[in-house]
Structure 1
Amino acid sequence: MMLVAMPVRAADQQFITIGTAGVTGIYYPAGGAICRIVNEGRSEHGVRCSMEATLGSIANVEKIRKGELEFGFVQSDWQHHAFNGTSVFEEEGAFPDLRSVFSLHAEAATLVVRSEASYKTFDDLKGARVNAGSEGSGSEASFSVLVDRLGWSESDLQGVTNFNSTEVAEALCGGQIDAYFLLIGHPAGVIEETAEQCGIRLIGMDDKSLDTFLEHAPYYMRTEIPAGLYGLEQPVASYGVVATVVTSAKLPDSIVYTLVETVFDGFESFNGLHPALTHLKARDMAGVAMAAPLHPGALKFFSEKGLLPAR
C-alpha cells in the first residue's frame, strides 16, 4: 500500500519570527536564508518562518525576553552579558531562560576610515569623530566597551554619532565623520558600499593592544579581516565574537528541533546563500562554547547526529 504525505492543515501551522539586524549587514540575509530553507518544507513540518529587521543583538535579546520574537541573532559577547545580567543588561537582570541554538560566522571589530586619513591604529582615533552604530545596537554597545578598555571616555572623542548602516557610507565619504565602527562578519555589504563611494582603509590592532584588551574580556577572541576583501593586501588583525542564534527555554522543543534539522539537512544550500556562510562547518556550529545552554530541541538534534564535542 502506498502512503501519501498529507499537507499540514493551516490550523496546525506554527509561526516563528527571527530577529535579524539592519538590512545591509549579514544577519538580515542570514535570517532570510534560514527562513527560505524552513519555508520550503513548511507543508511537511508545519513551521512557517518570517524575519524582522531590528537594531541587532541587544534588541533581539530584549524582544525574545518579552516574547515578541521566537529566535534572534545575537553576538556571543551580548549572549554572555544577557545570560549573566552584566553590562547593558545589569539593570534588567540576568535572562536565565535564554538558550543557544547554534553558532554561525566570526565577526570582527572593524574600524573604517577614508584612505587619505592619517589614522593608523585604534589609539590614533582619540579626538576623532566616530560613528558607533545605530542607537541601541550591539555595535554601539561594543564600541562603548572598546572605549572603556582603551582607557578613554567619550569626551576624548570629538564626537560619537549613531548613523545606521544605510547612512554610514555617505556620512564617512561626505566628511561628516572620520571613522565608523562595526562588529560584523565579512564580507560586509555596508563596507563594500562605502568602498564604492570613496577610497577606504581598515584599521587594525597591534599584538600588545590585543593582549591587553583580551585579558579582561573572555567573551572576545583574536581574529582578522582577510586579505583580498575591500582591496586589502594584508589581513587586518582585530578581536571579535561569534554570531549566534538564540531562543527562549519557553519555546517548544519540537519547533527548535524542526528549525535546526531543516537548516542542517539543507546545509549545502544554506552555505551558499551568503559569502560569510561559505566556510561554516556543521560540527563547529554545534560545538562552539556559548554562555547560554543549548535549547533541548537543538541538543536532541546535535546528539542524534553526533555533532557535539566529546566531554
Structure 2
Amino acid sequence: MMRVFSRPLIAAALATCAFASHAADDDTLPSTMIWTAYNVGSAGYANASAVADAFGKAYGTRIRIQPSSTAIGRLRPVVNERADLGFLSSGTFFATEGIIDFADREWGPQDLRVIAGKAAAFGMPTAADADIETIGDVRGKRLAYVAGNPSVNVKCDAVLAFAGLTRDDVDLRMFPTYTAAMSALKQDKADATCTLTTPSLMYELAESPRGIHWPEMPAADKEAWDRVTRMAPYASPYTETVGAGVSEDDPVELMGYRYPQIVVRADTSEARVYEIIKALDETFDIYSNVSAAMPRWDLEEAGHAPMGAPFHPGAIRYLEEKGIWTDEDQAWNDKRLKRLEALQSAWKETVEAHPDASEEAFAEAWAERRAAAIESL
C-alpha cells in the first residue's frame, strides 16, 4: 500500500537524517548522508549517484540524493543544514557572488567551500558553413542564447569576453529552451551557440550538412584570458579531446570549468571534509569506469583550482598530504577568499544602507556596490 506523506513530515525526516549525519564523529565518514544534485537524468545526478554507490560499497554509507532543477533548490538544503553537500555547478559561483537568483535580499553572497570538482569544457560551437573561424568572427552573427538559463548565458558572456565582445556585438537570438537553442544551428536559425562538446544535438550538428566548428580559446592569449577570468573566476583554459567534432587527434582549446563540484558550507568541520575527500579518492577505482568522463574525478585533475568557490581547509589538508596542492592553487584560493570576503562585506553594507528600498532599488544599489567591491581588489 502506497503511503502519502505530508511536506512537514518529509522535511522533519530530512532534518533528522541530516542531524544524524552531523552527530557522527567528524573524523569518520557518516553512516547516513544527504546530497543534492541536478535532476534525474542529468550528468550531475549521474556523477553523484556513481560516487554515492561507491561510498555505500566501500563504507556502508547510506546516501539519499535530493534532485532539483534549480540552483536555489539544490543549494537551500545545504545552506539550511538539511543536506551535507551538493553536487553543483555554476550556481556555486552565482551564490558566492550574490548574483542572478542569489541577488535577492534573502540570499546575498553565500559562505561556501568546494571539496573537488570534475573538469568539463565549454565553448562556442558554430556551424562550419557560417564562416566563423575565431571567437571574434561571431561579431554580427546569429548567436543563440537560452531564456532563463543564466548558467549557460553567463558562461557564454565569458566566451565572448575572450574576443573583447559583448552581447551588443552579436545578433542575439533568444530561444525558450536549451534544446531549442542547441537545435537552432542545425535548423539554420542561428550560426553559433554556447555549450559543452558532448550533447547529442552537437553530434547531430556535426553530422548535418552544416557541420560543426569549435573556435578555440588558446591558453597562450593571456590578455584574452584575463578578460574571461575577470568575468568568470572559475574558468581556465582546457584542452578537450572528447565530443562532437573533437578527438584525441583533433583536440580543441576551450574554456574549462567544473561540473559538478562538491560543495559544502564553510562551517563544515575540517575533519568531516577531510574524510569525504579521502573517501572520494579511495573509492575512485569503484566509480571511475561508470562513464567516459568519470576518470576526471582523479584528484590529480579534480583537486586543483579554479572552482566556483574557495577550497575547504579540510580538502586542502588532504590534497597537501597527497602532494597535489600547489603554490598556484594556494595563490588562487587566497585571492578567491579575499573576493568573497569583500562581497560579503559589501552586501552587509548594502542591506544596512537600504532597509526600506524596493526590490528594484535594492538590486540597483547592490549591483553598484558589488561592482565597486570587485574593482577595489
RMSD over aligned CA atoms reads 4.0
Larger Rg: 2
Distance 1:310 1:155 in 2: 39
Contact conserved, 1:130 with 1:178, CA < 8 A, in 2?
yes
Distance 2:66 2:322 in 1: 29
Structure 1 residues 68, 133: CA separation in 2 closer, same or farther (over 3 Å shift)?
Answer: farther
Distance 2:209 2:53 in 1: 34
Q: 1:112: how far off?
A: 1.8
Structure 1 residues 221, 266: CA separation in 2 closer, same or farther (over 3 Å shift)?
Answer: same
- Structure with the larger RCO, 1 or 2 (CA within 8 Å, 6+ apart): 1
Contact conserved, 1:112 with 1:200, CA < 8 A, in 2?
no
Q: 1:121: how far off?
A: 1.9
**1:269 maps to what in 2?**
286
Q: Which has the higher strand share?
A: 1
Identify which of 44, 48, 58 aligns with 1:27: 44
**SS of match in other structure, 1:175:** coil
Q: 1:222: how far off?
A: 2.3
Q: 1:98: how far off?
A: 0.4
Structure 1 residues 22, 210: CA separation in 2 closer, same or farther (over 3 Å shift)?
Answer: farther
**1:5 maps to what in 2?**
none
Structure 1 residues 66, 241: CA separation in 2 closer, same or farther (over 3 Å shift)?
Answer: same
What TM-score comes out, normalization by structure 2 length?
0.61
* Residue identity matched to 2:255: Y
Structure 1 residues 285, 138: CA separation in 2 closer, same or farther (over 3 Å shift)?
Answer: same
**1:237 maps to what in 2?**
253
Distance 2:49 2:66 in 1: 7
In the TM superposition, what are the counterparts of 1:126-275 in structure 2 within 5 Å? 126-133=139-146, 135-148=148-161, 150-182=163-195, 184=196, 187-195=198-206, 199-205=210-216, 207=218, 210-216=221-227, 217=229, 219=233, 220-226=235-241, 229-232=243-246, 234-243=250-259, 244-251=261-268, 256=273, 259-275=276-292
> 1:263-304 deviations in whole A, cap 9, x for unaligned?
32220222212212335433343344557443355456556x
**1:306 maps to what in 2?**
322
> 1:139-185 deviations in whole A, cap 9, x for unaligned?
21122334456444434332332454444443332233322202x3x
Unaligned runs of 5+ in 1: 1-9
Structure 1 residues 286, 162: CA separation in 2 closer, same or farther (over 3 Å shift)?
Answer: same
Structure 1 residues 71, 201: CA separation in 2 closer, same or farther (over 3 Å shift)?
Answer: same
Distance 2:238 2:302 in 1: 17
Structure 1 residues 125, 62: CA separation in 2 closer, same or farther (over 3 Å shift)?
Answer: farther
**SS of match in other structure, 2:117:** strand
Q: 1:189: how far off?
A: 4.4
Identify which of 99, 110, 115 aligns with 2:128: 115
**2:116 maps to what in 1?**
102
Contact conserved, 2:125 with 2:215, CA < 8 A, in 1?
no
Distance 2:284 2:125 in 1: 33
Distance 1:296 1:209 in 2: 31
Number of residue pairs matched by the alignment: 290
Contact conserved, 1:34 with 1:263, CA < 8 A, in 2?
yes
**SS of match in other structure, 2:286:** helix
Percent of aligned positions that are identical: 15
Structure 1 position 294 matched with structure 2 position 305:
no
Unaligned runs of 5+ in 2: 1-15, 21-30, 328-377
Greater displacement, 82-91 / 148-157: 82-91
Q: 1:239: how far off?
A: 3.0
* Residue identity matched to 1:117: A
Contact conserved, 1:64 with 1:72, CA < 8 A, in 2?
no
**1:73 maps to what in 2?**
88
Q: 1:225: how far off?
A: 2.8
Distance 1:264 1:208 in 2: 29
Distance 1:268 1:250 in 2: 30
What TM-score comes out, normalization by structure 1 length?
0.71
Distance 1:155 1:289 in 2: 28
Q: 1:215: how far off?
A: 2.2
Distance 1:266 1:300 in 2: 19
**1:52 maps to what in 2?**
67
Structure 1 residues 209, 249: CA separation in 2 closer, same or farther (over 3 Å shift)?
Answer: closer
> 1:76-115 deviations in whole A, cap 9, x for unaligned?
xx756644557986775432x201111222x333122233
**SS of match in other structure, 2:137:** helix
Q: 1:210: how far off?
A: 3.9
